[in-house]
Amino acid sequence: MKKDIVELTEKMLEPIMQAHQYELVDVEYVKESGQWYLRVYADKEGGITINDCEVISRALEVKLDEADPIAEPYVLEVSSPGLDRVLKKDKDFERYLGYSVDVKLYQAINKKKEFTGELISYNADRITIEADGQEMNFERDKVAVVRLTVFI
């Protein structure tokens, strides 16, 4: 059910995103603290603004109200993926090759679950970063999350 809602939402968003030259980064349908959230992450050249998020939200609300695909109450959120954006899709990994990323694993390797380094390659099975002059390979199914590193 969750996957169907995400896929339907992505299809509904396609014409909205194209019309305004936005990039659809991700759609999530998740339950947190007993409340369902339909989250849309969008971006555009130069960064997305609150006004852009409002345009997307209003247009999507109309389509969702017409189709009424979600039985339970939910909150619609539209936002930027943020500076520490999560890399999920191959297009994300391709776009951020050469950037510093934080890799978090489900299970520790040598008592360590978090690694930071330059993203140097990826494929369907593996992510490779360079950290402290050393290449580190991670199987994608063992990786909990990969996000851009935020330097403060």
| CATH number of the domain enclosing 98 | 2.30.30.180
pLDDT for position 74: 96
Side by side, the strands of the sheet bearing 100-109 are: 134-139, 126-131, 112-122, 100-109, 143-148
Length of the chain: 152
Q: Residue 115: inside a domain, yes or no?
A: yes
Decide: 137 and 128 in contact? Cβ < 8 Å.
yes
Residue-by-residue pLDDT tens, the chain, 152 positions: 889 999 999 999 999 999 999 999 999 999 999 999 999 999 999 999 999 999 999 999 999 999 999 999 999 999 999 989 999 989 899 999 999 999 999 999 989 999 999 999 999 999 999 998 999 999 999 999 999 999 87
Distance of alpha carbon 79 from alpha carbon 23, whole angstroms: 12
Residues 17, 57, single domain; the answer is: yes
pLDDT for position 1: 81
Residues 53, 115, single domain; the answer is: no
Distance of alpha carbon 129 from alpha carbon 98, whole angstroms: 9
Q: Residue 84: inside a domain, yes or no?
A: no
Residues 8, 63, single domain; the answer is: yes
The reported pTM is: 0.80
SS3 111: coil
Decide: 36 and 74 in contact? Cβ < 8 Å.
yes
Looking up residue 36, the CATH number of its domain turns out to be 3.30.300.70
Domain that holds residue 51: 2-79
Return the residue matching tokens 């539209």. Answer: 78
For residue 120, what are the contacts with CB-CB under 8 A and spacing of at least 6? 97, 98, 128, 129, 130, 135
